[in-house]
Amino acid sequence: MSPTFEASAPSSRADVLASGLLVDPPARVPWYLRLGLWWARRAAGKEPLAGRLLAHVPRAALTAGIFELGAAHGPRDLGRRELAVARLVASAVSGCAFCIDMNAAGHRDAGLSRDELAMLLGLEVECWPALGEREDAAARYAQCLSSTPVAVPDELGVTLRRRFSDREIVVLATTIAQVNYWARLNNGLGVPSAGFFDERACALPNEQGDA
């Protein structure tokens, strides 16, 4: 028997609009997606709302799930600090409340201090060199790839080649692109933050009026 998945779906279209969501969660979810949603909820401890909305288009949900399974992890793929820096800056540039919330929650595990978290989420570019050479380059790369149009200055390209291997640059690029996929999906569907981050440690930008 597949595990049950209880969702706190809004009870009416008016409730959906009031919550900020653009669409209702589907009333029925295929069994194979229910299993994935149950696993995501258990792993994160939060409602996987974006995944439930994707269940309107099961193929899209499956593709997104496979994409997520391929996410980079430190230190096997790249240093935890560099990965966290890239994800935080991509989240901040895209203005995705859910992404900022989720990625800020793991800042201590990645070796980032409260002040370093604040300078990344506040996009304090002039302070980024203090993070370290690799972290600074990762942050600036994330800012470039998360902006429209995407443009990587030649100088930054040279810096990346000097500080990272070819494989590490690809890991950075795919990590930043992954954050941007979820950011645009979440922003487009109105998915809010989920409460991963304890703001007693450091207020998030959208609470400070900085984002």
pTM above 0.85, yes or no: no
- Give the residue carrying structure tokens 């380059």: 137
Determine the Cα–Cα distance for residues 96 and 182; give it in Å rounded to an integer. Answer: 8
Determine the Cα–Cα distance for residues 84 and 135; give it in Å rounded to an integer. Answer: 9
Residue 100, pLDDT score: 94
Residues of the chain with CATH 1.20.1290.10: 80-181+199-208
How confident is residue 17, by pLDDT bands cut at 50, 70 and 90? very low
Q: Which residues have C-beta within 8 Å of that of residue 37, sequence separation ≥ 6? A: 5, 29, 48, 51, 52, 55
Please say if the pLDDT value at position 172 is more than 90.
Answer: yes
Best CATH choice for the domain 80-181+199-208 from the list 1.10.1040.10, 3.30.9.10, 1.20.1290.10, 3.40.30.10? 1.20.1290.10
Amino acid letter, 115: D
Please say if the pLDDT value at position 1 is more than 50.
Answer: no
Please say if the pLDDT value at position 127 is more than 50.
Answer: yes
Token code pair at residue 3: 């595990």
Determine the Cα–Cα distance for residues 87 and 67; give it in Å rounded to an integer. Answer: 15
Task: Determine the average pLDDT of the residues in 203-211.
Answer: 50
Residue 206, pLDDT score: 57
Please say if the pLDDT value at position 90 is more than 50.
Answer: yes
Task: Determine the average pLDDT of the residues in 54-67.
Answer: 94
- Give the residue carrying structure tokens 């203005």: 95
